[in-house]
Amino acid sequence: MTMKLVRLAAGALLALGLQTAFAQNLIVDTAAVEAAIKRGAVVWDSRDADDYAAGHIAGAVNFGAAGDLFRDANREDPPSAAVAALLFGNAGIDIVNKEVVVYGGKGDPYAYYAARMLEYYGGKHGKVYHGGIDDWKAAAKPMSTQATTLPPVKLTLNAERIGTLWTNDVIDRVRSGGAQIVDVRTPKEYNGEDVRAIRGGHVQGAVNLPYEGNWVDPATPGKLAAKKVSNKDGMSLKPAEDLKAMYAKLDPAKETVVYCQSGVRASETAAVLRDIGFSNVKVYEPSWLGYAGVLSAPAADEVFVNVGALNGRIGSLQNKVRSLEAELAKLQQAGKR
């Protein structure tokens, strides 16, 4: 083999190695979940206890809804590493040494958030079974209503915030210019029409690509509510080539910052980006809830909450509730006669 061919072969191998390094394979299908179970992986059901009790993947563990366990009730940020060590340790999940596959319902962003929490505290990012319990049932795979309990493990977690950025980090990037930032909220949230924090709008320079756009049919939740469809098939992920086309205006080699309202929806898009070859993806953990609270942080389509009008609407609703309660009390009293 000539030196030229050797160099070409070496270059091809290097390119293949980089491509493999960039493609994270964080999102798995039913066959991959079965293979992981055979390897001894922990399967983590991230839904609430009632959903788990109604039926889950045989052998899966559950210790409550991930969104409740790993989000502060007010700031919606994750707990300390010490708290996380107790949560995972008591559930028997060694996040440092064990492979973990996480699932919820099909397309559930909380499953992605739960999987990201493993990496957040120093473990390997969990694999996400995007099809979740819906695809597992559809494939007639083994289900159980009996809880699986793993022996507790003693965990010492010294890391926090891996794979994330925080408000000062994002403000610095916005002010320096050129940051690649993706807002995965709804267009109304992005435009300041739907205000869910102290102010509405979006991070200056962010592009809006709602996370539902990763699905075959982003309108599926609405269609389910209206009973226009009977299953979640539309919430399947688009093929990789379609996803790459969706994000074609972004640079896969550049740091990509993803945010939503509090880091949950962003977790799904962050995993998708990593799986299609983006090499440096960060989740802005406090997301818009944190950014909106820093009034000096540069924002576009900025809208402030009208506290007076909000209090007026709350007062009106309270009056209606009192009126309904009074009517109900009258009806109950009449029924006793």
Cα distances from 84 to residues 80, 88, 317, in angstroms, run 6, 6, 39
CB atoms within 10 A of CB 45: 27
- Give 29's contacts (C-beta < 8 A, 6+ positions apart): 129, 130, 131, 135
Does residue 126 contact residue 115 with C-beta atoms inside 8 Å?
yes
- Give 148's contacts (C-beta < 8 A, 6+ positions apart): 59, 60, 61
* Mean pLDDT, residues 170-196: 96
**Rounded Cα–Cα distance for residues 241 and 239 (Å):** 6
**Rounded Cα–Cα distance for residues 225 and 231 (Å):** 11
What would the pLDDT profile of 241-280 be if each residue is shown by its tens digit? 999 999 999 999 999 999 999 999 999 999 999 999 999 9
pLDDT at 19 over 50: no
pTM: 0.86
Whole-number pLDDT of residue 336: 73
- What structural domains and CATH numbers belong to the chain? 3-144 (3.40.250.10), 164-305 (3.40.250.10)
Confidence of residue 337 (pLDDT cuts 50, 70, 90): low
Tokens 């980089």 sit on residue:
18
**Rounded Cα–Cα distance for residues 275 and 252 (Å):** 11
* Mean pLDDT, residues 129-142: 98
What would the pLDDT profile of 196-252 be if each residue is shown by its tens digit? 999 999 999 999 999 999 999 999 999 999 999 999 999 999 999 999 999 999 999
DSSP codes, 102-153:
EE-STT-HHHHHHHHHHHHTTSPPPEEETTHHHHHHHTT--EESSPP-PPP-
CA angle at 289 for the pair 286 and 291, rounded to the nearest 5°: 75
Does residue 113 contact residue 66 with C-beta atoms inside 8 Å?
yes
Burial class (CB in 10 A: 0-12, 13-18, 19+), 185: buried
Q: What is the mean pLDDT of the chain?
A: 91
**Rounded Cα–Cα distance for residues 57 and 145 (Å):** 9
